[in-house]
Structure 1
Amino acid sequence: MFRPLPRLIGATWSSLVEEGIMASTRSAVKEPQKEPQIDASQQLETELDRALLAKFRQYRRASSPQLREELVCHYLPLAKRIARRYVRVGVPLDDLAQIGTIGLMNAVGSFDPGRGVKFEAYAYHHIAGEIRHYLRDAVDQMRAPRWVRKLYGEVTETVAGLRQTIGRTPTLAEIAKRMNLTEAGVLEILRAHNQSRVHSMSDLVDHQEVRRDVIAHQRYISFQLPIEDRIILLKSVERLADLQRKVVYYLFYQDLTQSEVASRLGVSQRHVSRVLAAALKRLATLLKTGEGDDARDGTTEEVREP
C-alpha cells in the first residue's frame, strides 16, 4: 500500500528501507502476554472452594460430626433454593426445605471430593430427589382426611374380595351392595381420594368440597337421626369414648351384629345396645354443633359394663 504523497516528499530511499525494516521487526517481536486479572470476589470464591474441599477430604478420612454440621450449614441456602422450585404444590417452603436438608445431609455423607465433581451438582440430585419422594408419597397422606383414607381402603378391600369370589372385576353396583352403600356413595369415596392426590405436582384440592353427605351408609337410615346422612364422619366417631367407638365401628364399618359385637368385646348384647344408644346420642350432639371436625378433647365418659 502506497503512503500518502506528503509523507514521501523529502524521504530518501535508505530512510524508507530502514523504516520498513524497523516496522517488520516490531511486528515480529511479540509483546509479552498479560496474566488474566482475577478480581477479589473470584479469588475469595476460589479460596472458599479450596477450604470446603479440604473439609470434605478431612470429613471423608474421619467422620467428624462437627465437620458434617459445618458443611451442612454452609449449603443450607442451596437446599432452600431447590425447595423453592416445588412451593407451587402448596406445601410450605420451610417444610420442603427441611425435607431437602435430609437429602443435603445424605449428600454430605456420601460425597467423594476425589471424583472431580462439584458438590453443588452432586447435592442437587439428592436434595431434589428427597423432596420429590416426599411429595409423591407423603403429601396425599398429609392432606387427605383420615376418614377418606379409611373408606378408600375399605373400597379396595371390597374390590379385592369380590374379585377373588366372582373371578372378575366387580361392577359398581356389586361394590355398593357389598359395602351397603349407594353407588353414588362409592363414587364419592373414589372422588374424594383422587382429589387428595397431587396432580401434576401443581395443585392440591380442598377436601371441604367433598360431599360427605353422599357417602351415607344404608343402615344409618333406620336410626332416623336428624343428621343421619352425616354420621359417617369418622372425626366425630373418634371423639367417642373407647367402648362407644368400638361398638359403632363394629356395627357400621364391619357390619357385625350386636351379638357378634358382644362376643368380640366380652359383654352382653343388652349392654351393646345401651352403648350404641349412648354413642348415637353423642354423635348427634357432636354433628349438630359442628364439633366433630375438632380434635378429640377427651371430655367424653366411657360407658362401662354394669
Structure 2
Amino acid sequence: MDSALTTIGLPIALGIIMLGLGLDLTLADFRRVARHPRAVAVALGCQILLLPALCFGLVVLLDLPALLGIGMLLLAASPGGTTANLFSHLFKGDVALNITLTALNSVIAVITLPVITGLAINYYDRGDSVSMPLIEVVKVFALILVPVGIGMLIKARLPEFAASMDRPVRIGSAVILAILIVGILADQAENVGDYLAKVGLAAGLFCALSLLIGYAVPRAFGIVEGQAIASSMEIGVHNATLAIFVAVEVLDEVEISIPAAVYSLFMFAFATLWGMFISRRVGTRKDPVRA
C-alpha cells in the first residue's frame, strides 16, 4: 500500500494522535507512579509480560500464518492508545492512573516493541524477508516521543488551549484510525475475507481476554475498582495506529497490519460493552482506600 495514505497520511496521523496524548500529560503524571506503585506495577506487568505471552499462545494454538502471527504480536507489544483514557473516563475508571500508564507504556514500548516483534520474526524464521532496521525504529519513536513532548509543552504553557483541543483531537484520532482501517481493507480487498477468517477469531479472543485480564489481575492483587477499570482499558485498548504504522512503514508488509485493523473493529465494541458491565459494579461496591 505504497500511497499517499501511508507515506504522508499515516505519519501525520500518528503524530496527531501522540500530540493529543501529550496535551493530556504533565510531569506529575510520571511522578504519580510513586503514589500508586502497586497499581502501576501490576498493570505494566500485564501489559509487558502477560499480554505478549497470551498472544503468542493464541497465535500458536490457532496456527496463524507467519505474517498475521507477527502482526498479532506487534499489536500485543503496542502500548495503550489515547482512546483508552476516554473509555476509562466514560466507565468510572481512575483516569489519572490511566494517563500515567499510557505515558509510561509509550516510553517503555521504545524497547519492548522492537524486541517482541523481533522475537516473533525470528520464531517464524522470516528474518530474510521482514526486518526492523535500527534507524527505522529510532524514526518511529521519534515520531512518537517528539509530538508527545510538544503536547506536554503546550499543556504547560497554554493549559486552556490544551483543554479546548482535547475533544477535537480525540474525535480526530478516532476518525483517523477509521480511515486507516478502511484504507488497509480496501487495499487488501481481494484477501479480506480470507484474512478475517484466519485472524478474526484470534483478534476477537485477544481483545476480550486483554480487557478481562486487565481488570481481573489487578483486582486479584487488591487494586481498587476504579484503578482496575483504568488498567483494563489501558491493556485492552491498544494504539492500533502505531502497530499499523510499524507494519506498513517499517516492516513494509501490509499483511502484518491486518491484525491491528481487525482488532480495532472488535476493540471499540468490546471495550464499550465491557465498560458498561464493570462500571455498574462501582456504585454497588465500596472498596477500602489502598496506597
TM-score (norm 1): 0.23
Larger-gyration structure (1/2)? 1
Tell me: higher relative CO, structure 1 or 2? Use CA pairs within 8 A at least 6 residues apart. Answer: 2
More helix by share: 2
